[in-house]
């Protein structure tokens, strides 16, 4: 069974000891949390947050696109629409406990109203803290409309110029055509220019 002389040498034991010896002098890969904090990349995705502008206003128009695109149905928007078509956000509810941080809601938002946060300390002992409202009782953002630029009048080619209108008065001044009554053929014996008598008409 052990005909090969190489099988008796414990090569695996010495290899494991060599790996342990090399890693003994490498710097530590872990940090002393919470005394030390890890550096989070800029493109890291964590919980959803409202993307506020520089003046502190939000940009949510209550279009509900994020609510429709959420694969886990964790976003709920309760809004009111007035008669003038303006929208009022009652609540922008977010269930963070079931969120898988896919970022689809952020990608489909047409106005960049939400973003993925960088806070990775999201654990709580109370499960009620995993659900909260991002916006409450606030009017929706109304995007200002840009005025439409005036279009210059297109140059008309010479062949498409307006033709002079027909003179309708000249057509109305033309004499009306007089229709002559058709001649009645009273028989072959009738003479030209003479009307036949009653007897000749009866004979015919």
Residue 85 exposure: Cα atoms within 13 Å on the Cβ side: 2
Please write the tens of the pLDDT for every residue from 63-85: 999 999 999 999 999 999 999 88
Has residue 59 been placed in a domain? yes
Q: What is the pTM of this model?
A: 0.57
Q: Render 140-154 in DSSP notation, one character per residue.
A: PP-PPPPPPPPPPPP
Give the ranges where 34-81 is alpha helix by DSSP (H): 65-69
**Residue 116 confidence (pLDDT):** 94
Q: What is the mean pLDDT of the chain?
A: 79
Has residue 70 been placed in a domain? yes
Has residue 67 been placed in a domain? yes
Has residue 64 been placed in a domain? yes
Tokens of 5: 């002389």
Please write the tens of the pLDDT for every residue from 102-159: 999 999 999 999 999 988 888 888 999 999 999 999 999 987 777 777 777 665 555 5
Has residue 157 been placed in a domain? no
Q: Which residues contact 46 (CB under 8 A, 6 or more apart)?
A: 101, 116, 117, 118, 119, 120, 122
Containing domain of residue 109, as a range?
A: 50-143
Range among 16-25, 166-175, 176-185 rated most confident = 16-25
Has residue 31 been placed in a domain? no
Strands (E), the chain: 48-50, 75-81, 87-95, 114-116, 131-139
Has residue 100 been placed in a domain? yes
Has residue 94 been placed in a domain? yes
Q: Give the confidence band of 60 by pLDDT, cuts at 50, 70, 90.
A: very high
Q: What's the rounded Cα separation, in Å, for the pair 102 and 73?
A: 12
- pLDDT over 60 (residue 192): no
- What is the domain-level CATH number for residue 54? 3.30.70.3270
Number of domains into which the chain is organized = 1
Q: What's the rounded Cα separation, in Å, for the pair 142 and 13?
A: 71
């Amino acid at each position: 069974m052990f005909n090969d002389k190489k099988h008796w040498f414990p090569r695996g034991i010495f290899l494991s000891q060599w790996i342990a010896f090399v890693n003994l002098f490498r710097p530590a890969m872990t940090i002393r949390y919470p005394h030390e904090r890890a550096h989070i990349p800029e493109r890291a995705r964590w919980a959803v947050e409202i993307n506020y502008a520089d003046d502190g206003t939000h940009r949510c128009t209550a279009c509900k696109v994020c609510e429709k695109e959420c694969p886990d149905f964790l976003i709920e928007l309760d809004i009111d629409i007035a008669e003038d078509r303006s929208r009022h956000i009652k609540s922008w509810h977010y269930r963070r406990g079931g969120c898988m941080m896919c970022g689809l809601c952020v990608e489909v938002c047409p106005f960049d109203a939400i973003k993925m946060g960088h806070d990775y300390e999201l654990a709580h002992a109370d499960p009620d803290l995993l659900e909260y409202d991002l916006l409450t009782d606030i009017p929706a953002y109304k995007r200002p409309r840009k005025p439409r630029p005036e279009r210059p009048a297109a140059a008309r080619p010479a062949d498409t110029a307006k033709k002079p209108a027909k003179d309708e008065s000249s057509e109305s001044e033309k004499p009306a055509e007089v229709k002559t009554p058709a001649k009645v053929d009273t028989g072959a014996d009738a003479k030209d220019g003479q009307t036949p008598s009653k007897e000749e008409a009866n004979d015919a």
